[in-house]
Structure 1
């Protein structure tokens, strides 16, 4: 008998089952505030049976967005977020807010605020140099995460997921390739992990035991010279010892340098070239094949790396990557993972869990074409769902 669909605890929260909707930017907030469209998106996911759905992406500061359309956490955002969490709760699911700072992945031209990077870098998104924060500005980033978590609690969220992956700001600090600092935040693994640990502790202090606090952590950046499993595992062990987190969700890849490592399957190069901002579009024509690499899809494609963490850590872990059927969920549970997270399969079929509960042999209709990836600029959706039309958000800075 599977326990996938039994209630499970995540820190102070009891979820109705062990399946989480992974954070996938929804592209439904043209004014950086909650819309009815965004509420309907998460209401449908919640009605489909997940234990918890994750709202992505809630930036901790205006410059922490990948573009100006994303929500950033401020008092004006709370009423809309409260309507969203109320809608999710009415369907029996919990709600998590993914909070973080995009760092070098941010589009400064769109945000009209300089992008941050641990060391000097040039941004292909905004065609400008990024700003290297000093220790005072780093402290401001830490405080901004704590404030975002407090606002999430005020908005009725059950959990926050801190983004430590994909070469967003914290992940870029963890990367030996991107972080070449000479101060307390660069050099050794301990120094490069300092920002992640400070943020986790600040968020926990801000919300106490009112919310579950999780983090999405890169196991590998997927680029030469970047973060790899041995160092990442050491960071995870420090985060566990600090006691601020209720779980880690294990991920991989770099939105900056190698996004396909997270997805696996087809590389939608043509579709991406059509929707990127003009400067990035020109560069993409030259480096598109190298940037969007192809990794053959297989079920549980991050499991092999994630096993290292399960062997070494005692804290709850969330397995992500190629979770589309009951077989893979049960394999994850058999190997000691406390939760599983699904993304693309739920974009294709929000009611997939209900189908699996009715028939254990159910297979997802997702074909791993990844054509959903470029739709972040035109309302995130599965392109094979005719009931999900595009309502474009301009990718260009105004």
Structure 2
């Protein structure tokens, strides 16, 4: 019997019967083509999640109107020409026993005119908080036309074989814009009090209900709290939920935020797990239809408790299923140690703004239709230098494919520089991912040697068929006048010296490492001065964690100097220079920390080229890398050899 009985109990929303209470969230992938048609890549991506055991999939937001298409990575259903591709997708899901619902969406003022070629529309002429573009205020006739387009989308969804529809009424898109007092200041029947602002959403549900079978699932996704000063709050959203229930909604999917509060919308590791569950609980207290909870739910125990405590009826998993499509099956089978846990870094969110979906912990995104773990017919003797994310991911895949793999690590433990990244506050999930990588390698036949320094001679003596160099960057301290004689520390040493470095700390460089070190030390009561020569702190971090770490530093009283260059370092002081201002001396520091340049580490590769048949380089040894690139490069090498 499963340890999570409620999570794996069957459930029903109208005609949709599901085998468990887990739902895949509608999250953009940009795996469709630029016209919004289904591709083989997107079919393989969703089919993998269906095989992974989720109760049902919600297909990413799909445009019911070209004017409401937010970008060229958004699927479309505004014309019958999209039905064949969508039908091919649903057939693929149904063939493996999965269920799939489609999210119907109109972005309203968040659509981009430079992409659509048309002025965005909205309930009121209030600019987008993101693009700042002024939308066209919809007329009553135009509102009716859009409502009918939602109904047309639902009709096409049935023809395409979808098991239900979800109406996107959240996150600052058009239906949410009508619901919110922040974006709807109309004075006609579509604006004013809660009932009138809900009319657009209500009529979408009512109109769809007239065109679909009686028990066909029509789910509404709402932002129960917009997390802005004048936006929707939970109490008003309870009233909206009752209105939608009366209109014929089959279930309420409870999310939060809009574009103005986007830093909270997709909660990164700085926000608590399950941070929106209380909103689902509030909505469930006032409606009789099923309620879906979402919001950084990565722990099956938390999911089970939410259901047991009747706070929601279903659990929505987004990034959790991006990270590991087989999460449901692994949890059901008790293989929790094999779950590739989402670290909430939001690199996935960053990736879809410019390209296709990627994931730090799952380098197989977009490769679902490719057999990456095929056993080799020609096993090779392979030596991997370095036990960081790149080396570990390469070792695991190569050994799993049947190669004879040995890994050398010069330190006394595996992890490389990634181990220090996991020390910063709220980044414990990174440590869990590192533990996962190590445990997976240890389950293979990989031979691991710690405290083993690699030299050209020792590699030559090993006589490998292939060598993977994942031994990290060449770390070079930034040259500043005075750094040689005044006991400065680099970031790594500073992480390890928190208890002995005094109380008043200056950190030169406000990039990702500097900001996270500042957070780490400030959380331990240190007085922090952080100096960054650029205009923005944390450049290199994804926008969500960058926002939160900067806010944390401000709240902890860190002295933040931007547009300031350090020109001199003394025994307990430093001098900063700003354009058009006199130099400023800052003193009284117990310790000064300076940044390190992570430069390509190619010396070892050059020294072994003549006697090693195949030499590959990955991770920081190539250039400064994040864990995403390091893991991906390790896997690419693992596939190639």
CA-to-aligned-CA distance 1:127-150 (integer Å, 9 cap, x gap): 643111100000001000000000
Separation in 2, partners of 1:309, 1:122: 29
1:370 counterpart (346, 349, 354): 346
Question: Could you state the TM-score of these two structures normalised by the residue count of structure 1?
Answer: 0.86
How many residues are matched? Answer: 359
Deviation at 1:176, TM superposition (A): 0.7
Aligned to 1:344: 319
1:67 counterpart (67, 71, 84): 71
Separation in 2, partners of 1:25, 1:344: 11
Residue 197 (structure 1) aligned with residue 197 (structure 2): no
Match of 2:237, SS state, is helix
1:162 counterpart (163, 167, 182): 167
**Aligned CA distance change for structure 1 residues 321 and 71 (closer, same or farther; 3 Å):** same
CA-to-aligned-CA distance 1:176-199 (integer Å, 9 cap, x gap): 111111111111111101001000
The alignment's C-alpha RMSD in Å is: 1.8
Q: 1:117 touches 1:130 (CA, 8 Å); kept in 2?
A: yes
Greater relative CO (CA pairs within 8 A, separation 6+): 1
Residue 208 (structure 1) aligned with residue 213 (structure 2): yes
Match of 2:61, SS state, is strand
Separation in 1, partners of 2:313, 2:143: 33
Separation in 2, partners of 1:96, 1:3: 22
Separation in 1, partners of 2:128, 2:187: 22
CA-to-aligned-CA distance 1:20-52 (integer Å, 9 cap, x gap): 100001111222110111101100111110011
Separation in 1, partners of 2:130, 2:336: 44
**Aligned CA distance change for structure 1 residues 123 and 85 (closer, same or farther; 3 Å):** same
Match of 2:298, SS state, is coil
Residue 311 (structure 1) aligned with residue 285 (structure 2): yes
Separation in 2, partners of 1:192, 1:48: 40
- Which structure has the highest strand share of the two? 2
Q: 2:129 touches 2:260 (CA, 8 Å); kept in 1?
A: no
1:380 counterpart (357, 360, 382): 357
In structure 2, stretches of 5+ residues that fail to align are 368-641
Deviation at 1:125, TM superposition (A): 6.5
Deviation at 1:338, TM superposition (A): 1.3
Separation in 2, partners of 1:239, 1:368: 32
Deviation at 1:339, TM superposition (A): 0.8
Question: Could you state the TM-score of these two structures normalised by the residue count of structure 2?
Answer: 0.54
Residue 26 (structure 1) aligned with residue 29 (structure 2): yes
CA-to-aligned-CA distance 1:296-342 (integer Å, 9 cap, x gap): 33222111222211222221101111222221121121122211110
Separation in 2, partners of 1:99, 1:187: 25
Aligned to 2:105: 100
Aligned to 2:309: 335
Q: 1:153 touches 1:210 (CA, 8 Å); kept in 2?
A: no
Larger Rg belongs to: 2
Q: 1:122 touches 1:129 (CA, 8 Å); kept in 2?
A: yes
In structure 1, stretches of 5+ residues that fail to align are 267-295, 391-398
Separation in 2, partners of 1:46, 1:209: 26
